[in-house]
Structures are given as structure tokens and as C-alpha cells.
Amino acid sequence: MERILKDRHIKRKVLVVDDESINREILGNMLQDGYDVAYAQNGQEALDKLKSGEETFSLILLDLLMPVMDGKEVLKICREDPALSGIPVIVLTQEKEAEVDSIRAGADDFISKPYSMPEVIRARCERIIDLYEKKSLIDSAQTDPLTGLYSSEFFFEYIKRLEKYDDGAMDAIVMDIEHFHLINEIYGRDEGDRILEKIADILKKEAEDSFGIACRFAADTFYLYHSAMEDHGALVDRIIKEMGDVSLSPAKIRLRIGVNRAVDRNETPQLWFDHAKYACDGLRRDYTGNLAYYDSRLNDRHLYQAKLIHDIDRSIEDHDFVVYFQPKYGIQGDRPQLRSAEALIRWKHRELGMTSPGDFIPLFEENGLVQKLDRFVWEEAAAQVAAWKEKFGITIPVSVNVSRIDIYDPKLEERLLGIIEKNSLTSKELYLEITESAYSDDAARLIEVVKNLREKGFRIEMDDFGSGYSSLNMLTTIPIDVLKMDMKFVRNMLKDEKSLKLCELVMDISRFLEVPVVAEGVEEKAQLDRLKDMGCEIIQGFYFSKPLPAEEFEELIIKEKSDSVS
């Protein structure tokens, strides 16, 4: 700091406070080459200069015996005023007894009168200023300037020190404000800061009462290291009650609190709070409460999902993902006929083995990664259709999924047409399945996309019809070519009258729309017969075949060719 200030020719300002002009002049002459010196002839004049805010002082040289207000009163006021307490004070005195009293009162050093040895005086001034500037830098790194809580770096360092002397049971607690950015935007940053300061005050008190420590970890996230307690609900209630003191209605402030009880000292402090934050984050979609506890089983699930997310790109590149095909059969003729297939993704993870689509598809749908899978499936399915076409001389169209996120891709049509062209196919050989839930997101966008795709010759299938998202009115405005009946209806149709009626209703809707129905999940001949009687044209399910890898699916193609000849 000293070197930087000298290199920039910046002089720090020193205030000399003494009622005797000769003393002010002597000190001024000693310091003026290295400092910008200001003067005051009594304590009141010194305080007026200090509190005016017009000048920033790096040091006060303070005489004790002065009229109007003496140096002892000035020192007391400076040490009690937060705005002035950061300025070091060197007392000027010729009384040895006063030196000790001044140090106890908060002075940082003393210079004896009469003044001699200018080099020593300058060295003392330089040392005290340097110490305070370094302390200020350390303090700024240790604490958050808004809340006064510890910074995250110092928080974890302090915990490590505590652990050397105390092995009592402790809880790691993470507190987060739901949608805090909206509070700033709607009510203003001043209101947001007031909320943060209030939470900090509450946590400071909790930390003091529990021999703990608190920090502001991020913009709206707080950490509390707290003596283990049985009833964290009481802590939550206290915090919410005290939050009523802020001007914004507490009903508009939702706190999420995650607790890692009785932390495992075989783990690092950072991991304790990672666990607590995981519990806290789990409340984002759960508005039934404010409090959640870390569960190692949940953490195992979280780590498992994190690994799946981490490995998706490598697995796509290395073809650890494999496309399976489930056949669809037309059932209205004398014998079932292989009409098409649905492409289904499987993951042969190199470390985890066969991974359930129920584990990774919903996960990737939630974070948008499903788009990468969809594109992989489109490429693989189209290439397989082309391979079968060349090998067997017939076309087996394949249905591929178009997820909700794909609908918003401005290059969707371009991508699909590029895949078709690359494999020398027509658009009629790659069917597009759109899940019913996508029809409720943005009807206008969906209608536009679907119309454009149909104009290019693609066949659009509404998947999982009957799962509850679409309305009959939407069906009259959104063009589709096929309804795929939700498999839950089919599986229960012979056991549950309501499911049977719903199957019949879907068939009535299909006749009204003049589109065929594909029934999924058919496992028994009785189901097939009943669906056939209803007028259902196509079925898929384990009754005919489970999803198969391409080489096994070829056996169905060979059989179909043989049956058609005979």
C-alpha cells in the first residue's frame, strides 16, 4: 500500500489537533513532505472537520489538554462513532501517566512532548497508518459490507479454528430467499437490502446465543453454523416472526431453510453446507413448508443425477446411447401387419450399466438436455430406416419424439429436413410424436410449427393423448395425423370401467377428427380384441414385442415379408 501511494504521488491526509500554534507548526514541518497536513486548535474544531465528510483522514495527532473540548473527549467520541473508529489516533502528551490511560482509552500510540527526533515521529506515523490500512483490507475481506456478516472464505476458515477446540454436535444451516431478484425489481434495491440486513441481524443473534457463526454466502443465501438443536421449526418461526419488522409484508418473503443435522466431522465444512444447501434447494418446487433436512439417500440420488448430466455428451459421442425399436401393428385386417415402429432411447452406461429411461429422460427434460438426446435419436432412427430400406427393399417408418423444448428451436424444420436429405428419405418415412403436454405450453407457436412440418410432408402424432393437458377445442385448431392413446387407459381397460369408457371416448374423438388411433401398452389378446372391436387400427406393446435393438427388430421385418408372400 505504501509503495503504491508513493508511486502515484498520493499524500495521505493527517489532522494535527493542538491548541498551541507553535506545536502545530513544528509537527506540520516534520510531516509536510510526506503528508497532506490539516490543523485544528481544539477538540470541537477537530470533530467538525472529521464529521464534515469533506476530507478523508488517515491519522489524527491529538493533544490531550485543550480548551472547548479536550483530547480525551475527542478520543472517546471517535472510538464510539463507527464512521470515525477506523482512523488511528496518536496522542500528544508530556505526562507519562496520561500515556497509559490514553492507550487504554483507545489511542494507538503516543508521542512525547517536546517534539524531537523527526525521523522517529515520521516512522511512528507511517507505521500506525500502514497497520490500519492493512487491518482495513483484512476486515473488508472478512466481512460482507452490507450485512456485517463474515465472508464465505473467512467463515470456513473460522470454522476450522473452532473445530480445534470444540467437538460438540453442530448443525449446518442454509437459508435462501425465494425469488429475491423479483423483490429487488418490484420493491427496489433499498427494500431488498433492508431485508438482507434484517436477516443478518437475526442470524448474528442466533450465532451469539448458540456459540456459532454466520455468513452471507451469496446475494440472498446465508450460512449458519449452529449448536445442534432438536426443534429447527422453532428457529424458523422465530426468523419469520422477526422478519415482520421489515416494511415489506412477510407474506411476500418466502424463506427456504435446509439443515444438515449434527454434521459428520469426517467430511469437510464445505461439504456440510453443500448437503444443507441441497436440502434447501429441494424446497424450490415445494410450497408446503419452509424447512427441509438433508438425507444421505437424497444426496446419493443427487450425485447419481449429477453424473448422468456430466456424462451425457461423452455417451452420445461414444454411442453409449442406443436406439431401440418397438413395432406397431395394424390389426384391422385378417392378420396383424407390421406397419411402423417407435424409436426409444436406451443408455448402456459404461460404469452404471443399463440405465432406466425413467431416471434420465425426466432429468434431461427438466434441464433442457433432452434436446441433445432427441437429435441423436432422429439421426440414428433415420439412418436405420435407410439401412432397412436398402437391405429389405421396404420402408418401415419410425416415429421419433419431438419434445417441448424442440418446438422452440427456430432451426427445427431445417434440422429434420437435413436429416431426411442426408439419408435419402422422404418426410413421410419419419413420423414425429409430440407429447400432449406440449400442446398446453404455447398453442400459437405449436400450431405454426406443426403446420409447417405437415406442409413438408411429416406425419404428426399426438403422444399420450388423454393424460389431461389438452382440450377438445385445441384439437380442432392444431392439425394432427394420429392420436396415440395413453397406455394407462389400455392397461386398465378390462379391469376398470372408467378406463374402458375413456378408451371408447378417444375412439369417438378420433372418428370426429378423422384420424387413426395407436393404442400403446397392449399386453393381452383380450385387450387387442376389444380395441379391434372399437375400431382401433394400430397397436403397440408387449403383446407383439418389447422394444428391440435394430438387429433383433430385423427378424420381425423378415417374418413380415415372409407372411405377406404366403
Handedness of CA 494, 496, 498, 499 (dihedral sign): negative
Residue 471 pLDDT exceeds 70: no
Q: How confident is the model at residue 441 (pLDDT cuts 50, 70, 90)?
A: low
Compare 480 and 556 and report the one with higher pLDDT.
556
- Asked if residue 478 has pLDDT above 80, the reply is no
More confidently predicted of 384 and 136: 384
Percent of the chain with pLDDT over 90: 40
Lowest-confidence segment of 31-40, 135-144, 520-529 by average pLDDT:
135-144
pLDDT at 2: 41
Q: What is the pLDDT of residue 507?
A: 93
Who wins on pLDDT, 32 or 415?
Answer: 415
Q: What is the pLDDT of residue 566?
A: 64
Q: Which pLDDT belongs to residue 4? A: 34
Res. 351: pLDDT tops 60: yes
Is 494 within 8 Å of 526 (Cβ atoms)? yes
* Cα–Cα distance for residue pair 407/451, rounded to 1 Å: 12
* Residue 355 scores a pLDDT above 70: yes
pLDDT digits (tens, 9 = 90+) for 395-429: 999 999 998 889 889 999 999 999 999 999 999 99
pLDDT at 167: 72
Rounded Cα gap, residues 224 and 171, in angstroms: 8
C-alpha cell at 473: 377445442
CATH number of 152-294: 3.30.70.270
Task: Give the relative orientation of helices 152-163 and 269-281 as an angle to the nearest 10 degrees.
Answer: 120
pLDDT of 501: 92
Where do the CATH 3.20.20.450 domains begin and end in the chain?
Answer: 328-343+370-565
- Name beta bridge partners: 430: 398
Options 3.40.50.2020, 3.40.50.10420, 3.30.1490.190, 3.20.20.450; CATH for 328-343+370-565 is 3.20.20.450
Greater model confidence, 385 or 252: 385
Q: Give the model's confidence band at 9: pLDDT under 50 very low, under 70 low, under 90 confident, else very high.
A: very low
Task: Give the per-residue pLDDT at 516.
Answer: 94
Query: What pLDDT shows up at residue 296?
Result: 77
Among 28-37, 95-104, 158-167, 382-391, name the one with the lowest average pLDDT: 158-167
Q: How many CB atoms lie within 10 A of CB 96?
A: 9
Q: Is pLDDT at 8 greater than 60 in this prediction?
A: no
| Chain-centroid distance, C-alpha 554 | 46
Mean pLDDT throughout 159-164? Answer: 73
pLDDT in tens, 174-202: 999 888 888 888 888 888 888 888 889 88
Q: Which helix (H) or strand (E) holds 124?
A: helix 118-142
Grid coordinates belonging to 333: 385386417
* Average pLDDT rounded to a whole number, residues 257-272: 90
Cis peptide before 114 (omega within 30 of 0): yes
Give me the residues paired with residue 92 across strands.
63, 111
Across the range 107-129, mean pLDDT stands at 86
Question: Average pLDDT for residues 494-507, to the nearest whole number?
Answer: 90
Q: Is the pTM here over 0.85, yes or no?
A: no
**Does residue 219 contact residue 199 with C-beta atoms inside 8 Å?**
no
Can you tell me the mean pLDDT for 110-125? 85
Tell me: pLDDT of 77 over 60: yes
Residue 395 grid coordinates: 420402408
**Residue in 187, 216, 219 with CA at minimum distance from that of residue 202:** 216
Percent of the chain whose predicted confidence (pLDDT) is above 70: 91
**Ranges of H-type helices in 83-117:** 96-105
Q: How many residues in total does the chain contain? A: 566
Q: Buried (b) or exposed (e) across 544-553, using 16+ Cβ within 10 A?
A: bbebbebeeb
Average pLDDT over residues 161-177: 81
Instruction: Please indicate whether residue 400 or residue 487 has the higher confidence score (pLDDT).
Output: 400
**What integer is the mean pLDDT of 125-141?**
73
**Confidence tier at 136 by pLDDT (50, 70, 90):** low
User: Is 245 strand, coil or helix?
Assistant: helix
Candidate from 157-166, 454-463, 482-491 with smallest mean pLDDT? 157-166
Contact (Cβ atoms closer than 8 angstroms) between residue 151 and residue 215? yes
Considering the chain, what is the average pLDDT of its residues?
Answer: 86
Task: Calculate the alpha carbon distances from 421 to 129, 330, 349, 371, 417 in Å.
Answer: 75, 28, 31, 20, 6
pLDDT at 546 over 70: yes
Kindly indicate whether the domain formed by 2-142 is annotated with CATH number 3.40.50.2300: yes
Residue 463 pLDDT grade (very low, low, confident, very high; cuts 50, 70, 90): confident
Mean pLDDT, range 45-63, rounded to an integer: 87
The pLDDT, as a whole number, for residue 473 is 61
Task: Tell me: pLDDT of 213 over 60.
Answer: yes
Comparing 217-231, 408-422, 543-557, the range with the smallest average pLDDT is 217-231
CA distance 34 to 129: 12
